[in-house]
A and B are shown apart, each in its own frame.
Chain A
């Protein structure tokens, strides 16, 4: 295990920023902690880095207990690499000196080799002599990553690493960063409030809220089979329909679907809008499709969100590519084409659906 966090708590005054978190990171794994602002995810990262000391629980980095038993190990002794939201490049040092900052204990020739290799890895060897203020935002971020990777840390911690970039650059950089981390075989923990970022970059996503990890699993698991209402809605739009579960299947207004067998009785059936399909004409008239009336349409270019009123009067949304074009007043057939999840109604806490 590269990182093991066990039952960690951190209080600031009366607020419990981290309220008992357990999390493990295998070597070479890229994990994301995803949550809204104020959920405690950054505090968790800072606890692992050693900038804060936990009030309870234990943290291990690379097999050594760094907090929780005796006095906490200071950050400089933890073998972590950190990439900050603002990159925190040293403005008075050139790119190569920034990248070599953590290698000061090595001989100068070794330092030069490792610095060059790290810059090579991020594709910025030609910028070694530049100052941080002469770089673009994306370049700065790659320098920050190279600097964090150069000392070969047990784990790289990334704190909202894409938040200060504009949207078009963000997607490109996400791909670059993932490639670099994979190439370096680095273990990485990313903290973000951006669902897309977490789902697309990480092998594993831990969804956090109010200091607690609500669900921890692969991107497909947390998106497709969220364990409660809050995780469901935090990860994306969802339609919630009343249903009845029995014997490994659930029955609702849009049909009967298989689900994990352990849920029985009155449940909420959760369907993502992209699993709601619309169609017209005889071809789609079958017993697994239902009548609907288009009442609204929002067009986003790459896709559209169409609101359809079912026969019961309940409205559901369907997300599809921008074609065909639906208009309010169109009569359509509605069916489900994709995964369906069922949740116990008592997991509804404080969630508006």
Chain B
């Protein structure tokens, strides 16, 4: 009798514990989401706190709007034409070296805009362009087009390759030439993918700070920087940030709306790709050499020039003494971000899986909102609540300022900005683990945390690694958030590049820039390898 009541009591206690734990995962995801996305609430709130903060900065807003409009139109058209054209070339034509060119075209992804700007400014005189030509809206449009077209290219190429060949054949049968068939059937069918790529490229362009700052183009991010560092007006900075985010959201909405009611999915499931037409002679040579020259210009030439300058700088002792410190800071920040961001991403993704509910699904959506937000906007959004919290902590415990002006603020900003990137990779990995494995493990006596440690983490190790790699390279090249939030003496390689370039010390900037590009090539290489394997 005693035994049986003891057993019953044990089960009851276990039951009570379990209910708390079931909620525990949802609570965890919701709390994490609020911590990550909460700071962004201060953006719109700034309009209430100080409605006419921008009145002090006459001319800033019209300039920013004008520059933004120029960038949207210029970069939009530029990436659309270049990305779609290249995608059509490798999808519908075959020529010697195509398998190779296909992927070389992606390499500019590894080239941060401000590094290419450094190269452009440093060599402008040598090629007879003149600094004034480069330092213009047109210069910014060209540079953004050159480094951002791969977004359009990748999405358009995937769309072209998945199109059923018989649609193109139907168009040819109706009397269209191959070229006209591509323009009138293949491209319109790929429109959602192409516009999606353009939207991505534009978001990157609008979020950029380094390029426009170095070129003196007065966009929103540049204005935020000015208002923040020039006048320390946080409400004005937040309001500019809010407007920039609104422009980004508007772009996304337009992209969504452009799909309209038409459906672009393939009706036939047995999509047989259109066999590419074989190019010969001069056409084949042009198809090979054109993209090659492009990649040589965007990646090859800068790498060679940066290497030459690096050697000069080392030989002439022009290397800034802070270089070693900056390299160490960059590695430290990027390395620790891997752990923090990947862990938060894993927590969110697994939390939603382990305790599926409306609140955990919503938590994920909220937490990943920060991606695509410009680094400068995230920085000013993060610093306000952190500063408030810091002063409360200081008042309570008298421990001085812990959060602002230390790396903690940076990690918060990196998490807000890059969580979505890591989450996507981790979540895709988790989705590929059958749910029956979770249940099998639980049936065998493992609780959820144990299942995560013994089943999921080993199984999704590659996905975690990819997530870490993406976060690492993003943090390495991140400029505006680091610039606004870095602690004293916390310069990174990216900041070293930017600082030296603003002072026209191109040789000094070269070595850190070279390192950033080389690190950035790793995930692009991984991406290419994974895609090739998927294609094979």
Mask for A41-85, Cβ within 8 A of B = 1, else 0?
A: 000000001110000000000011110001111111110111011
A51-B442, A90-B441 given; 17 more Cβ-contact pairs under 8 Å: A49-B439, A64-B8, A66-B11, A71-B18, A73-B11, A73-B14, A73-B18, A76-B442, A76-B446, A88-B436, A88-B437, A101-B446, A102-B443, A102-B446, A148-B443, A151-B445, A157-B443
Bound together, the chains give a CA A148 to CA B445 distance in angstroms of 11
Mask for A90-114, Cβ within 8 A of B = 1, else 0?
A: 1110000000011011000000000
Q: B4: CB under 8 A from chain A?
A: yes
User: In the complex the two chains form, is B11's CB within 8 Å of A64's CB?
Assistant: yes
Within 8 A of A (CB), among B489-533: none
User: In the complex the two chains form, is A73's CB within 8 Å of B15's CB?
Assistant: yes
Mask for B3-17, Cβ within 8 A of A = 1, else 0?
A: 010011001101110
Mask for B440-474, Cβ within 8 A of A = 1, else 0?
A: 11111111001000110011000000000000000
Within 8 A of A (CB), among B1-38: 4, 7-8, 11-12, 14-16, 18-19, 21-22
Min CB distance B277 to A, Å, is 41
Q: A147: CB under 8 A from chain B?
A: yes
Q: A176: CB under 8 A from chain B?
A: no
9 contacts between A and B (CB under 8 A): A65-B8, A66-B15, A70-B15, A73-B14, A74-B14, A76-B442, A86-B436, A101-B444, A105-B445
Q: B434: CB under 8 A from chain A?
A: yes
CB nearest neighbor in A for B459 = A92
User: In the complex the two chains form, is B459's CB within 8 Å of A84's CB?
Assistant: no
User: In the complex the two chains form, is A102's CB within 8 Å of B444's CB?
Assistant: yes
User: In the complex the two chains form, is B439's CB within 8 Å of A88's CB?
Assistant: yes
User: In the complex the two chains form, is B444's CB within 8 Å of A70's CB?
Assistant: no
- A82: B residues at CB distance < 8 A: 439-440, 443
Question: Chain A interface mostly helix, strand, loop or mixed?
Answer: loop
User: In the complex the two chains form, is B439's CB within 8 Å of A63's CB?
Assistant: no
Min CB distance A19 to B, Å, is 24
B7, B11, B443: the one contacting A49 at CB < 8 Å is B443
Mask for B412-442, Cβ within 8 A of A = 1, else 0?
A: 0000000000000000000000101101111
User: In the complex the two chains form, is A147's CB within 8 Å of B444's CB?
Assistant: yes
User: In the complex the two chains form, is B445's CB within 8 Å of A102's CB?
Assistant: yes
Min CB distance A12 to B, Å, is 13
CB nearest neighbor in A for B444 = A102
User: In the complex the two chains form, is A86's CB within 8 Å of B439's CB?
Assistant: no
User: In the complex the two chains form, is A77's CB within 8 Å of B18's CB?
Assistant: yes
- A64: B residues at CB distance < 8 A: 7-8, 11
Bound together, the chains give a CA A265 to CA B86 distance in angstroms of 83
- B439: A residues at CB distance < 8 A: 49, 51, 75, 82, 84, 88
* Contact flag A76-B443 (CB < 8 Å), given A90-B437, A92-B458: yes
CB nearest neighbor in A for B7 = A64
Min CB distance A186 to B, Å, is 14
- B447: A residues at CB distance < 8 A: 74, 76
Min CB distance B47 to A, Å, is 42
Min CB distance B462 to A, Å, is 11
User: In the complex the two chains form, is B16's CB within 8 Å of A77's CB?
Assistant: no
User: In the complex the two chains form, is B440's CB within 8 Å of A88's CB?
Assistant: yes
Bound together, the chains give a CA A66 to CA B22 distance in angstroms of 15
- A91: B residues at CB distance < 8 A: 459
Bound together, the chains give a CA A71 to CA B13 distance in angstroms of 9
**How many chain B residues touch A (Cβ–Cβ < 8 Å)?**
29
Residue from A86, A88, A105 having most chain B Cβ neighbours under 10 A: A88
Bound together, the chains give a CA A151 to CA B441 distance in angstroms of 12
Min CB distance B188 to A, Å, is 40
* Contact flag A80-B443 (CB < 8 Å), given A71-B18, A73-B18, A74-B18: yes
Min CB distance B151 to A, Å, is 34
Size class of the A contact interface (CB-based, 8 Å): 35 or more
CB nearest neighbor in A for B442 = A75
Q: Which 8 A-B pairs have the closest CB atoms?
A: A102-B444, A71-B19, A88-B436, A88-B440, A82-B443, A74-B18, A75-B442, A71-B15
- A81: B residues at CB distance < 8 A: 443-444
User: In the complex the two chains form, is A65's CB within 8 Å of B11's CB?
Assistant: yes
- B440: A residues at CB distance < 8 A: 82, 84, 88-90, 147
Bound together, the chains give a CA A73 to CA B442 distance in angstroms of 12
- A73: B residues at CB distance < 8 A: 11, 14-15, 18
Bound together, the chains give a CA A91 to CA B456 distance in angstroms of 11
Bound together, the chains give a CA A76 to CA B444 distance in angstroms of 6
B16, B434, B441: the one contacting A71 at CB < 8 Å is B16
User: In the complex the two chains form, is B441's CB within 8 Å of A74's CB?
Assistant: no
Min CB distance B2 to A, Å, is 15
CB nearest neighbor in B for A99 = B444
Min CB distance B172 to A, Å, is 44
- A75: B residues at CB distance < 8 A: 439, 442-443
- B458: A residues at CB distance < 8 A: 92
Bound together, the chains give a CA A49 to CA B22 distance in angstroms of 16
Min CB distance B5 to A, Å, is 11
Bound together, the chains give a CA A78 to CA B442 distance in angstroms of 10
- A50: B residues at CB distance < 8 A: 442
- A147: B residues at CB distance < 8 A: 440, 444
Min CB distance A89 to B, Å, is 8
Min CB distance B17 to A, Å, is 8
Bound together, the chains give a CA A151 to CA B434 distance in angstroms of 23
- B443: A residues at CB distance < 8 A: 49, 75-76, 78, 80-82, 102, 148, 157
Min CB distance A189 to B, Å, is 13
Min CB distance B26 to A, Å, is 15
CB nearest neighbor in A for B440 = A88
CB nearest neighbor in B for A92 = B458
User: In the complex the two chains form, is A86's CB within 8 Å of B434's CB?
Assistant: yes
- B22: A residues at CB distance < 8 A: 74
Mask for B86-114, Cβ within 8 A of A = 1, else 0?
A: 00000000000000000000000000000
- A74: B residues at CB distance < 8 A: 14, 18, 21-22, 442, 447
Within 8 A of A (CB), among B357-387: none
* Contact flag A85-B445 (CB < 8 Å), given A72-B18, A77-B14: no
Within 8 A of B (CB), among A291-306: none
- A71: B residues at CB distance < 8 A: 15-16, 18-19
Min CB distance A78 to B, Å, is 8
Min CB distance B210 to A, Å, is 42
* Contact flag A101-B18 (CB < 8 Å), given A64-B8, A74-B447, A84-B436: no
Min CB distance B8 to A, Å, is 7
User: In the complex the two chains form, is A88's CB within 8 Å of B434's CB?
Assistant: yes
* Contact flag A85-B436 (CB < 8 Å), given A74-B447, A101-B441: yes
Residue from B18, B440, B459 having most chain A Cβ neighbours under 10 A: B440
Bound together, the chains give a CA A75 to CA B12 distance in angstroms of 14
User: In the complex the two chains form, is B436's CB within 8 Å of A77's CB?
Assistant: no
Min CB distance A258 to B, Å, is 47
- B16: A residues at CB distance < 8 A: 70-71
Min CB distance A169 to B, Å, is 21
Bound together, the chains give a CA A76 to CA B441 distance in angstroms of 8
Bound together, the chains give a CA A80 to CA B440 distance in angstroms of 10
CB nearest neighbor in B for A53 = B22
User: In the complex the two chains form, is A151's CB within 8 Å of B444's CB?
Assistant: yes
Bound together, the chains give a CA A70 to CA B8 distance in angstroms of 12
Min CB distance A133 to B, Å, is 13
- B11: A residues at CB distance < 8 A: 64-66, 73, 77
User: In the complex the two chains form, is B15's CB within 8 Å of A72's CB?
Assistant: yes
CB nearest neighbor in A for B457 = A92
Within 8 A of A (CB), among B237-277: none
Bound together, the chains give a CA A251 to CA B164 distance in angstroms of 66
- A72: B residues at CB distance < 8 A: 15, 18
Bound together, the chains give a CA A149 to CA B90 distance in angstroms of 56
